[in-house]
Amino acid sequence: CHLIHYLRLSHHLIVLNYLICTFDKLKSVSSEDIKITDAVFDGVEVRVFEPPAKGDESLKRSVVYIHGGGWALASARTSLYNNLCRIMAESLNAVVVSVEYRLVPEVCFPEQYHDALRATKHFLQPDVLAEYSVDPSRIAISGDSAGGNLAAAVCQQLSKDEDLTVRPKLQALIYPVLQAFDFNTPSYQQNMNMPVLPRYVMINYWIDYINGNYDLAHELLVNNHTALNVGRALSFRARLNWTSLLPPSFKKNYQPVVQTTGTAAIVERLPALLDVRAVPLLADDATLARQPRTYVLTCENDVLRDDGAMYATRLERAGVPVTLDHFHDCFHGCMIFTVWPTDFSAGVQTRNSYIKWLDENL
- Distance CA(92)–CA(149), nearest Å, equals 23
Task: Give the CA angle between residues 330, 334, 339 to the nearest 5°.
Answer: 130
Strand order in the sheet with 94-100: 35-41, 44-50, 94-100, 60-66, 134-144, 170-174, 293-301, 322-331
Residue 332 annotated as catalytic: yes
- Distance CA(183)–CA(306), nearest Å, equals 10
- Give strand pairing partners of 139: 62
- Distance CA(238)–CA(244), nearest Å, equals 9
State the SS3 of 102-114: CCCCCCCCCHHHH
- Distance CA(165)–CA(179), nearest Å, equals 30
- Distance CA(124)–CA(102), nearest Å, equals 20
Task: State whether the Cα torsion 191-103-290-181 is positive or negative.
Answer: positive
- Give strand pairing partners of 141: 64, 171
Closest CA to 335 of 299, 293, 294, 295: 299
Helices (H), 228-325: 231-234, 242-245, 248-251, 265-269, 285-289, 305-317
Catalytic residue among 12, 67, 114, 332: 332
- Distance CA(251)–CA(220), nearest Å, equals 21
- Distance CA(94)–CA(50), nearest Å, equals 7
Is the separation of the CB atoms in 151 and 120 below 8 Å? no
The number of residues making up the chain comes to 362
Residue 302 annotated as catalytic: yes
Residue type (1 letter), 243: T
Catalytic residue among 142, 145, 159, 187: 145
**Within 10 A of 111 (CB to CB), how many other CB atoms are there?**
15
Residue 163 annotated as catalytic: no
Q: How far is CA 173 from the centre of its chain?
A: 6
Catalytic residue among 144, 182, 302, 306: 302
Active site residues: 145, 302, 332
